[in-house]
Amino acid sequence: MAREILFSDFECDCGHCSSFCEGTVKECKEQSMKLPVSLGDSEKDEHFIVFRRGRAIEIECPELGSVPLDAAAEKPKHRTRRAKDPRV
Binding-site ranges for Zn ion (CB under 5 A): 12, 14, 16, 61
Q: Least Å distance between CB 65 and Zn ion?
A: 9
Q: Least Å distance between CB 27 and Zn ion?
A: 23
The one-letter amino acid code at 68 reads: P
Strand 3-5 versus strand 9-11 pairing type: antiparallel
Query: What are the CA-CA distances from residue 66 to residues 40, 63, 80, 86 (Å)?
Result: 13, 9, 28, 41
Select 13 or 27, whichever has its Cβ closest to Zn ion. 13
Q: Least Å distance between CB 16 and Zn ion?
A: 4
Select 10 or 32, whichever has its Cβ closest to Zn ion. 10
Half-sphere exposure of 30 (CA within 13 A, CB side): 6
CB 48 within 8 A of CB 20: no
Select 31 or 60, whichever has its Cβ closest to Zn ion. 60
